[in-house]
Amino acid sequence: MSVDVAKPGTRGTVSLTAPRLPREAPLLVGVGAVAVAALVWLLLGWPLVGSAVVGGLVFLVALPAWSRVVEGRRSATDRLMTALIWTTFVVAMVPLVSLVATVVTKGAPVVNREFLTYSLFSTGAEQPPGIYHAIMGTLIITVGAAIISVPVGVLAAIYLVEYGKRNQLARMVTFLVDVMTGIPSIVAGLFAFALFTVLFGPGFQAGIGGSVALSLLMIPIVVRATEEMLRLVPDDLREASYALGTPKWRTIVKVVLPTTIGGIITGVTLAVARVIGETAPLLLIAGLAARTNTDPFSGAMTTLPVQIYSFNSRQETLDLAWGAALVLIVIVLALNLVARVIGKIFAPKTGN
């Protein structure tokens, strides 16, 4: 777009649009950066990672420089920051994609119906090894941990938000929750091991011990997630309920909790996904067994992480370890997807 600007004795035009790079400029620079990286890899014999770094640096330098010449400093700075953001995103995705690709490639050939429905306890010469006992142990111990930690975590969060405002006890509980958030998982396993040794004697191993150990790791996550969701409830809803003569406990049960139930369920599900892959505490208190044990109060109970650790200790069972790792990743992925769906279903409906 341009306009005519009249001057004494002359007639000229002044452009109101600044020059811009073509829309395909990032793609062209990216192709050039890939070409440079390929040349470095082929001609100089650099490792693939080093060549990729060189290509990334070429892209980060070339695109803003081209933009500085054509578009000016402001647009060049914008393109540089955009390129940096995309670069960091790619760098963050590389290990994740590599991990998933490696596990799927090495674990998929092992996973089949027999692998998922048989245990390691052989009842026949032709029976293939399986991880059914570990899957059942993982589900039982994790459900037990959720049964212990969810009521404790939710009730503690309700006290902190609804009853313990500016209270010395509430500040102490908040401090302890923060401390529990950072404790190593092996410490939780040692606590459960010491507790059940005092109660039932040395050498005690059972699934309930693993549930207690995992609940210590889940409680702070549940408390924090529930606390944040409760704080999002507007005080107007509480005051409207109080104005109608509703007691505080009934306001919490009938107004506050239904408003936040979606976020609470999401936090609980994410807490379960966080502890389902723990190994160290379960090695101490839950043990390792080849049979399928569905009684959490008696006998050793194996989980998938512990079974993966056992498979990985022997060269001949490495392929089974990759298969079990793939199953564990699928379970964690399913839990996260369930958390997302539940959060959307129970999220408070907002109108215009």
Domain assignment of residue 339, given as a range: 132-346
Q: Total domain count for the chain?
A: 2
SS3 content of the chain, % helix, strand, coil (to 5): 70, 5, 25
How sure is the predictor about 63, in pLDDT bands with cuts at 50, 70 and 90? confident
So what's the pLDDT on residue 305? Answer: 92
Share of the chain above pLDDT 90, in %: 21
pLDDT (0 to 100) of residue 17 = 64
Domain assignment present for residue 256? The answer is: yes
In this structure, are 188 and 269 located in the same domain? yes
Residue 125: per-residue pLDDT: 67
Q: Tell me: the pLDDT tens digits for 221-244?
A: 999 999 988 988 888 888 888 888
Q: How far apart are CA 342 and CA 253, in angstroms?
A: 20
Query: What is the per-residue pLDDT across 134-189, written as a single tens digit (0 to 9) for each?
Result: 999 999 999 999 999 999 999 999 999 988 877 888 889 889 888 888 888 899 98
Q: Say what the pLDDT of residue 11 is.
A: 52
Q: Does residue 3 form part of some domain?
A: no
Written as six digits, the tokens of 267 are 């936090």
Each residue of 3-33: pLDDT tens digit?
444 444 445 454 456 678 888 888 888 888 8
Q: Is the whole model's pTM more than 0.85, yes or no?
A: no
Q: Are residues 160 and 35 in the same domain?
A: no
Is the same domain home to 42 and 164? no
The answer to whether residue 292 scores a pLDDT higher than 70 is yes
Does 115 reside within a domain? Answer: no
Average the pLDDT over 54-65 and give the result: 87
Q: Are residues 289 and 200 in the same domain?
A: yes
> 73 phi and psi, to 5 degrees?
-65, -40
Residue 17, domain member (yes or no): no
In a domain, 10, yes or no: no
d(CA 244, CA 206): 50
Residue 1 pLDDT grade (very low, low, confident, very high; cuts 50, 70, 90): very low
Identify whether residues 151 and 58 lie together within a single domain: no
Q: What 3-state class would DSSP assign to 53?
A: helix
User: Which CATH number fits the domain that encloses residue 243?
Assistant: 1.10.3720.10
Confirm whether 321 is domain-assigned: yes
Q: What is the DSSP letter of 123?
A: S
